[in-house]
Amino acid sequence: MTVTTSHARWNGTLKEGAGTMSLPRAGFEGPFRWASRFADDTSATNPEELIGAAHAGCFSMFLSALLTKGGYTPTSIATTANVHLGDGPTINRIELATVADVPDLTGDQLADFAAQAKAACPVSKALASVGEITLDVQLA
């Protein structure tokens, strides 16, 4: 089985402190702060943003696999994930929005494949405790 590793380091108190999160395989390292998570500081990242990227990437890859297995060749699949952090704090909603360019596929067929991908991708399964995960899928 594949094992991936990420790192995070936090220094200081919750509101005055700061940290970094890193993804060594990709060479990504980004700062995060209280304000980038709970306020409007867009100069740093936050855990929810990384969860959204993971979910969008996993869903897109899983959808591609299902389409390919179904006999279709996707040209592109672009997914955005909006992750809502509510009281608690708790991730209470994720909105997936996907535009797929798949020759010879109808919108209804795409919706069926996308529903399967949403239910079965590993990140969706890991996020099963999220109150609501919505899906808007369209053909390009």
| Closest among 49, 1, 12, 11 to 28, alpha carbons compared | 49
Q: Could you give the CA distance from residue 93 to residue 111 in angstroms, rounded to a whole number?
A: 20
pLDDT digits (tens, 9 = 90+) for 92-136: 999 999 999 999 999 999 999 999 999 999 999 999 999 999 999
Task: Identify the pLDDT of residue 63.
Answer: 98
pTM: 0.94
Domain assignments of the chain as residue spans, ordered by start:
7-38, 47-139
- pLDDT class of 26 with cuts at 50, 70, 90: confident
pLDDT band at 68 (very low <50, low <70, confident <90, very high): very high
- Considering the chain, what is the average pLDDT of its residues? 96
What integer pLDDT is reported at residue 40 of this predicted model? 87
* pLDDT tens, position by position, 69-78: 999 999 999 9
pLDDT band at 2 (very low <50, low <70, confident <90, very high): confident
Closest CA to 80 of 48, 110, 57, 63: 57
Please give the average per-residue pLDDT across 56-64, as a whole number. Answer: 98
90-101 and 132-139: which strand pairing? Answer: parallel
**Interatomic CA distance for residues 112 and 106, integer angstroms:** 10
Phi/psi at 62 (nearest 5 deg)?
-65, -40
User: What CATH number does domain 47-139 carry, 3.10.20.520, 3.30.300.20, 3.30.379.10, 2.60.40.420?
Assistant: 3.30.300.20
